[in-house]
Amino acid sequence: MSVDALLAVLLIPALAAAALALVPGYRVSAALNVVASAATFVAAASLFFTRPAGGLYLRVDDLSVVFIVLSAFVGLTTSVFSASYIAHEVEIGRLTPARLRFYHAMYQALLFAMNLALVANNIGLMWVAIELATLTTVMMVAVYRTHEAIEAAWKYFILASVGIALALFGTILVYVAAQPVVGAGLPGMVWTRLIVAARRMDPALLNLAFVFLLLGYGTKVGLAPLHAWLPDAHAEGPTPISAVLSGLLLNVALYAVLRFKMLLAANPGAVAPGPLMITMGLVSLIFAAFMLYRRRDIKRLFAYSSIEHMGIIAFAFGMGGPLANFAGLLHMTMHSLTKSAIFFNVGHVAQVKGAQSIADIRGLTVTHPVLGWTLAASVMAIAGLPPFGIFTSEFLVVSSTFARQPLLAVPLVFGLIIAFGALLLRLQGLAFGEPSPGAARARASYLPMFGHLALVLTAGVFFPPLITQWFQHVARLLG
């Protein structure tokens, strides 16, 4: 019974992807997409209660279950949003039914790849899964077949390929370090064996491996200066994909980095991985904060905001320790929920206005009160205003930094304030003022958007003690 939940998380999306490749009608496949995502979410949630026994390839532990459930939840809500979004895209002729078939199959294939990366107990398998996730997202970014979309996909493809190539070199180095200790063959790549034996591995090899892994998977996390693919891929792909990229795929890559960080931390002779992550995190945060001011495209604006937040998260995990890790986990969850809510909103906005340019979107609260006010609320949430959950997590990151490394808190707070200013400045034009033309009613499904915002708001006001305990437990595991 319990093993089934682990397999279900993988098999449901895999089978759904195969089925969706065969279903011709887009209404049916959109519904099937939602059903499959919901089933995956149920299976993922059940992992909280029954923990299947792992093997040499697959395993679920307390860390990965947080990522899996978050991933399955955002996958579910995005599939609901996607159903209403693509109906409009088909009407205006941006997508043909044949491409939609492909799109839906790829959506489930992506969920499969991400779940596989999260439950993999094997560094080689994890690498293959992340590579598969890259391939599927590249094809989804290119789905509109416009010049810009193909260019964005190409840029993403090349940069991500180099990233995962470097990650593979790092993976091989980890195996070379593990092989004399754990023994040759399959055990040399199994997490559960590696983490136990990490103490006795050659620290110099591990250091070198971590540099490659951080650069490689860091490209996929979107950390500066390896972020160049991220804004283009977010802006030119379909909006549901922007939501999944920001809300999930970046997290999955981060999960890989965290796993290897734990490996290094378990070896007393290896260099501390924290400072590297702190530096990359701060650079991403401050760079993205300044870039926010110069954005003219609304999806690009929020893509840079994702880089900013991944920077904060990498910073928090780089600081380490129970409190900072807790803050990092919380921030990651809150960012995923808020950012995908924003992309749901932006998707509808871009459809009613027929444009993605910030200059063409004005006065939303006048023409579309629901969309406008929700956008205002979610931008305030992502900027870190109370009472939303991101305020709590950013406060925790800042306060834990002040307590331990006051000097590091200065650039952190600086970056947060710069980004805050940029977002509020942009929000003013988007939501208020003289409305721009384009008053078509949005036929949107507001449920995913409201659901996410409600969760973020609830987390900011009252965080369930059960989840707090869980996160604290995971934060201790992360070291």
Contacts to other proteins by CB under 8 A: 122, 124-125, 127-128, 131-132, 135, 138, 145, 147-148, 150-151, 154-155, 157-158, 161-162, 165-166, 168-169, 172-173, 175-176, 179-180, 184-186, 188-189, 202, 204-205, 207-208, 231-232, 235, 294-297, 300
Token pair belonging to 132: 């598969």
**How far is 310 from 326, CA to CA, in rounded Å?**
15
Q: CB neighbours (10 Å) of residue 225?
A: 11
Do 274 and 364 touch, CB atoms closer than 8 A?
A: no
Q: Residue 293 or 402: which CB sits closer to other proteins?
A: 293
Closest CA to 198 of 269, 127, 277, 257: 269
In the complex, minimum distance from the CB of residue 228 to other proteins, in angstroms, rounded to a whole number: 9
Q: Is 357 helix (H, G, I), strand (E, B) or coil?
A: strand
Q: Residue 35 or 132: which CB sits closer to other proteins?
A: 132
In the complex, minimum distance from the CB of residue 436 to other proteins, in angstroms, rounded to a whole number: 17
Q: Residue 157 or 315: which CB sits closer to other proteins?
A: 157
In the complex, minimum distance from the CB of residue 376 to other proteins, in angstroms, rounded to a whole number: 22
Looking from the CA of 34 toward its CB, the CA atoms found within 13 Å total 12
In the complex, minimum distance from the CB of residue 466 to other proteins, in angstroms, rounded to a whole number: 38
Residue 196 CA: distances (Å) to CA of 44, 124, 139, 164: 27, 18, 39, 26
**What is the helix (H) or strand (E) element at residue 215, kind and residue range?**
helix 203-221
In the complex, minimum distance from the CB of residue 186 to other proteins, in angstroms, rounded to a whole number: 4
**How far is 479 from 471, CA to CA, in rounded Å?**
13
Q: Residue 116 or 390: which CB sits closer to other proteins?
A: 116
Instruction: Report the b/e string of 316-342 with b at 16+ CB within 10 A.
Output: bbbbbbbbbbbbbbbbbbbbbbbbbbb
In the complex, minimum distance from the CB of residue 146 to other proteins, in angstroms, rounded to a whole number: 8
Q: Residue 189 or 289: which CB sits closer to other proteins?
A: 189
Task: Determine the length of the chain.
Answer: 479
Do 145 and 233 touch, CB atoms closer than 8 A?
A: no
**Which residues neighbour 467 within 8 Å (Cβ) at sequence distance 6 or greater?**
none
Q: Residue 226 or 314: which CB sits closer to other proteins?
A: 226
Q: Residue 142 or 380: which CB sits closer to other proteins?
A: 142
In the complex, minimum distance from the CB of residue 148 to other proteins, in angstroms, rounded to a whole number: 5
Do 475 and 326 touch, CB atoms closer than 8 A?
A: yes
Helices 250-265 and 465-478 cross at an angle (nearest 10°) of 50
**What is the number of helices (H) and of strands (E) in the chain?**
20, 0
CA dihedral sign of residues 187, 189, 193, 194: positive
In the complex, minimum distance from the CB of residue 220 to other proteins, in angstroms, rounded to a whole number: 14
Q: How buried is 474 (Cβ within 10 angstroms: 0-12 exposed, 13-18 middle, 19+ buried)?
A: buried
In the complex, minimum distance from the CB of residue 98 to other proteins, in angstroms, rounded to a whole number: 15
Q: Is 24 helix (H, G, I), strand (E, B) or coil?
A: coil
In the complex, minimum distance from the CB of residue 175 to other proteins, in angstroms, rounded to a whole number: 5
In the complex, minimum distance from the CB of residue 243 to other proteins, in angstroms, rounded to a whole number: 20
**Which residues neighbour 158 within 8 Å (Cβ) at sequence distance 6 or greater?**
none
Q: Residue 284 or 365: which CB sits closer to other proteins?
A: 284
Do 56 and 187 touch, CB atoms closer than 8 A?
A: yes
Q: Residue 277 or 301: which CB sits closer to other proteins?
A: 301
In the complex, minimum distance from the CB of residue 196 to other proteins, in angstroms, rounded to a whole number: 18
In this structure, what DSSP letter does residue 143 have? G
Q: Residue 243 or 291: which CB sits closer to other proteins?
A: 291
Torsion, Cα of 376, 379, 381, 384 (10° steps): -130
Q: Residue 6 or 303: which CB sits closer to other proteins?
A: 303
Q: Residue 66 or 270: which CB sits closer to other proteins?
A: 270
In this structure, what DSSP letter does residue 9 have? H
